[in-house]
Structure 1
Amino acid sequence: MAELILRKTDLFTCDAQSVAVADRYPQRVFAEHSHDFCELVLVWRGNGLHVLNGRPYRVTRGDLFYIRAEDCHSYASVNDLVLQNIIWCPERLRLGADWNETLPAQPAWRLGGVGMTLARQIISQLEQESAREDALSGKLAEALFLQLLLTLQRHRYQPDRAQAQDESVLDRLIATLAASLNRAFDLDAFCAQHQCSERSLRQQFRQQTGMSINHYLRQLRICHAQYLLQRTGLLISEIAMLCGFEDSNYFSVVFTRETGVTPRQWRQRSGSGAATEAPV
């Protein structure tokens, strides 16, 4: 459990309020903390490192996270990171909905551009209703929260789904990069497949995320490597291959440059991994 705990008494206007919206324009570096309430995090722009229960995620436009009361998380290396937090107290919800059924089954997922537009509209209404203290507004806020959760379910980005064809090329690019952790990514081939301008796509990507395409993919791979170093006993050379690096020495150079420590030091600091490894 994190030493810093955010309390509902500091963030909700009264004991009866069940749902609220907390804007982060932008989100600053924030030390590891937990809450005595639940939270949905929606990222609108920029990028940053979000560490959830010890696992690092490189986040940008369209990323969503479900933070339970017992979870710990923090933000680091932020760059114009704009997000909104939807916070709620499960014990205060009064609508007879099956909340467990509507809440996400996984802690991290993505939302496509169409879903982001719809979610933003609902959140805007939710923010207005949750700021009022009358009983009717409280019920409307809960109804809007339920609508938001169902909208997120419907528009969760899944590249193999028919609706994905309606999403922007940028959405498809981000999803393709996330699926390219252990293999080469060919931007020329991607642009040819989707009939788009490489120059325009690069500009759009940097405008929305604050990073180049190559930097973002490298960061995704390093985050995945950190997770594997912490949670598995794989050799560092094996982890390098799983993260798209054919040369383990080059992987160690990039990892050290991006994190400030070597892969071996990261593993030792996390207190996990194989007891012995081949030299790299």
Structure 2
Amino acid sequence: MCDLKLQTTDYFVSDKNAVMVADRHPQPAFPPHRHDFDELVIVWRGNGVHILNDVPYPITCGDLFYVNAEDCHSYESVNGLELDNILYCRQRFSLACDWDALLPGKHHDQSARYWRLSTPGMTALRQEVDTLAAECMKTDDISLQLSEAQFLRLALLAMRFRHAPDSTVLSDAEQLDLLLMALRASIAAPFRMEPFCRRHQLNPRGLKLLFKQQTGMGVNHYLRQLRLCKAMDLLRHGQETIGEVAALCGYEDSNYFSVVFNQCVGISPRHYRQRFQKSSA
């Protein structure tokens, strides 16, 4: 259910401002809701689960995604999650540019609205967001134009630095990005840290420490979160048996999968599936 709807009048300084920045440091758990504006979301630290139109996504530092007006989304299982919401009203833009190409809209598939930022990309966008946050609080004509121009610059830089979550090619091959991509590719298969580090000539201890500092959780915790989100998606929308779901999510023993799922989600896989089948009936 998505009964809560956030209004532009509650978040924008005036009816002339096209862009606003809402910092969430931290972002608490937030119930399902919609809004009448669009959002560009950048995650700086911590972790959590973002549910967008009934699809769960594990999120952590470096994740960037676009939420369109009328999407239903929520935040769950948050842990030190820090992010910035850049809110924008497309109908208020005055600059003549291809905003639809810059900001994936309602005509783009949901999977095309989730991206990753490298460490240099996060540094570059952090400065832009801070500048925009100060400018968009003003309502004079020059500030309104500067805010939109600053947002255009931010949107262009996001396109320059973003890459697909499962991309196998990185322009700067950052250690954290390499590890996150490897983990995303290991949902159904075992992941072994030592061989991965040898292959990429990385220090296991240093990489684990970096991962913990940036995401707020350990490598195994993040991999478990990825697998559970995949399981939640399959149970909501798929027709696989519980055993098949377990195998697709990297669990050879379906009983152990059920125990882990129950511990983390608070309900068994079977009852979780029944709950969503009933709600969609």
Where on the TM-score scale, by shorter chain, does this alignment land: which range?
over 0.9
The residue that corresponds to 1:210 in the other structure is 216
The residue that corresponds to 2:82 in the other structure is 82
- CA offsets, 1:146-166, max 9 Å, x none? 2222211221124433xx251
1:1-280 aligned at under 5 Å gives the runs 2-104=2-104, 105=108, 106-158=112-164, 159-161=167-169, 164-271=170-277
Identity value in percent: 50
SS in structure 2 opposite 1:87?
Answer: strand
CA distance in 2, matches of 1:205, 1:243: 22
With normalisation by structure 2, the TM-score equals: 0.92
SS in structure 2 opposite 1:94?
Answer: coil
CA distance in 2, matches of 1:68, 1:92: 15
Q: Which runs of 5+ in 1 are unaligned?
A: 273-280
Shift of 1:95: 0.7
With normalisation by structure 1, the TM-score equals: 0.92
CA distance in 2, matches of 1:56, 1:255: 14
> What amino acid sits opposite 2:78 in the alignment?
V
> What amino acid sits opposite 1:8 in the alignment?
T
> What amino acid sits opposite 2:83 in the alignment?
L
Q: Which runs of 5+ in 2 are unaligned?
A: none
> What amino acid sits opposite 1:13 in the alignment?
V
- CA offsets, 1:185-215, max 9 Å, x none? 1100111122222111111111111111001
SS in structure 2 opposite 1:271?
Answer: helix
The residue that corresponds to 1:276 in the other structure is none
CA distance in 1, matches of 2:113, 2:141: 31
CA distance in 2, matches of 1:126, 1:97: 19
SS in structure 2 opposite 1:43?
Answer: strand
CA distance in 2, matches of 1:256, 1:90: 42
The residue that corresponds to 1:278 in the other structure is none
CA distance in 2, matches of 1:216, 1:90: 35
Deviating beyond 4 angstroms after TM superposition, the runs of 4 or more aligned structure 1 residues are: none
Shift of 1:10: 0.9
Shift of 1:227: 0.3
Task: State the superposition RMSD in angstroms.
Answer: 1.6
Q: Give the length in aligned residue pairs.
A: 271
> What amino acid sits opposite 2:81 in the alignment?
L
CA distance in 2, matches of 1:109, 1:98: 20
CA distance in 1, matches of 2:181, 2:145: 36
CA distance in 1, matches of 2:57, 2:178: 19
Provide closer, same or farther for how the CA distance between residues 200 and 151 of structure 1 changes in structure 2, counting only shifts above 3 A.
same
